[in-house]
């Protein structure tokens, strides 16, 4: 070990100067490494933020689709089942009846205590961007149940997005639009 130290001292004494700081090349290399690392970190952060936003939107869409499907299956009589307007695939849109209670297709954001009015308004705006639609289809004339699909539509980063949830409702619970079914029989079947 002493030989190594004496060699260093000898080189310093013979050259007459001690080296201080970094050279220009070392500084440029260090700044390049730092800028590459920083740009990777920023791009990862932006990707994580975008993925979290998509996950949030998908979660809200799934919650809304489940709530709408529950409303549709719990009270199919307050919707118009216009089976006569079915397309070539048997698909028809399920709409609210004119005399249905208002607000069937609007599910408010969850009741939470937020930090302030701005946070609450941001939450309300988030839920307002989702639009539901309901579709029905009788798979075959002798089928025992209607296939029901709820589709939730929204826009994210300028691109249209959609989430669907499909279930079935027994055929005997559905009264197609335009069919005159005796009210007593209908109430007996649904109760």
Task: Identify which of 142, 132, 136 has the alpha carbon closest to the alpha carbon of residue 89.
Answer: 136
**For 39-78, where are the E strands, in sequence order?**
none
User: What is the reported pTM?
Assistant: 0.68
Residue 175, domain member (yes or no)? yes
Residue 35, domain member (yes or no)? no
> Is residue 19 classed as helix, strand or coil in its secondary structure?
coil
Residue 7, domain member (yes or no)? no
For the CA atoms of 81, 87, 93, 94, what is the dihedral angle to 10 degrees?
Answer: 10
pLDDT along the chain (191 residues), means of 10: 59 61 88 96 94 93 91 86 85 82 65 71 82 90 91 92 93 75 46 49
Q: Return the bridge partners of 135, or none.
A: 93, 149
Residue 32, domain member (yes or no)? no
- Total domains in the chain come to 1
Residue 55, domain member (yes or no)? no
The tokens for 142 are: 């002798």
Residue 107 is predicted with a pLDDT of 63
Residue 134 is predicted with a pLDDT of 92
Residue 34, domain member (yes or no)? no
Residue 47, domain member (yes or no)? no
CA 189 from centroid of its chain's CA atoms: 37
Establish how many alpha carbons lie within 13 A of residue 38's alpha carbon, considering only the half-sphere containing its beta carbon.
6
Residue 190 is predicted with a pLDDT of 47
Domain holding 129, by residue range, is 62-190
Residue 154 is predicted with a pLDDT of 94
Indicate if the alpha-carbon torsion angle 152, 61, 49, 112 is positive or negative.
positive
Residue 104 is predicted with a pLDDT of 63
Q: Return the bridge partners of 133, or none.
A: 151
Residue 183 is predicted with a pLDDT of 46
Residue 19, domain member (yes or no)? no
């Amino acid at each position: 070990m002493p030989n190594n130290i004496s060699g260093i001292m000898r080189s310093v004494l013979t050259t007459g100067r001690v080296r201080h700081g970094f050279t220009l090349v070392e500084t440029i290399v260090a700044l390049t490494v730092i800028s590459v690392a920083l740009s990777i970190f920023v791009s990862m952060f932006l990707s994580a933020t975008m993925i979290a936003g998509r996950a949030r939107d998908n979660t809200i869409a799934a919650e809304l689709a489940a709530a709408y499907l529950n409303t549709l299956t719990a009270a199919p009589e307050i919707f118009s089942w216009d089976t006569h307007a079915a397309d070539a695939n048997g698909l028809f849109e399920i709409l609210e009846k004119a005399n249905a209670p208002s607000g069937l297709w609007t599910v408010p954001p969850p009741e939470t205590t937020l930090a302030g009015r701005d946070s609450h308004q941001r939450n309300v705006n988030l839920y307002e961007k989702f639009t539901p639609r309901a579709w029905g289809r009788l798979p075959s004339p002798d089928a025992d149940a209607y296939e029901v699909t709820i589709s939730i539509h929204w826009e994210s980063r300028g691109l249209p997005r959609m989430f669907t949830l499909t279930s079935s409702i027994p055929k005997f619970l559905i009264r197609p639009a335009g069919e005159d079914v005796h009210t007593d029989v209908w109430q007996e079947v649904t109760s």
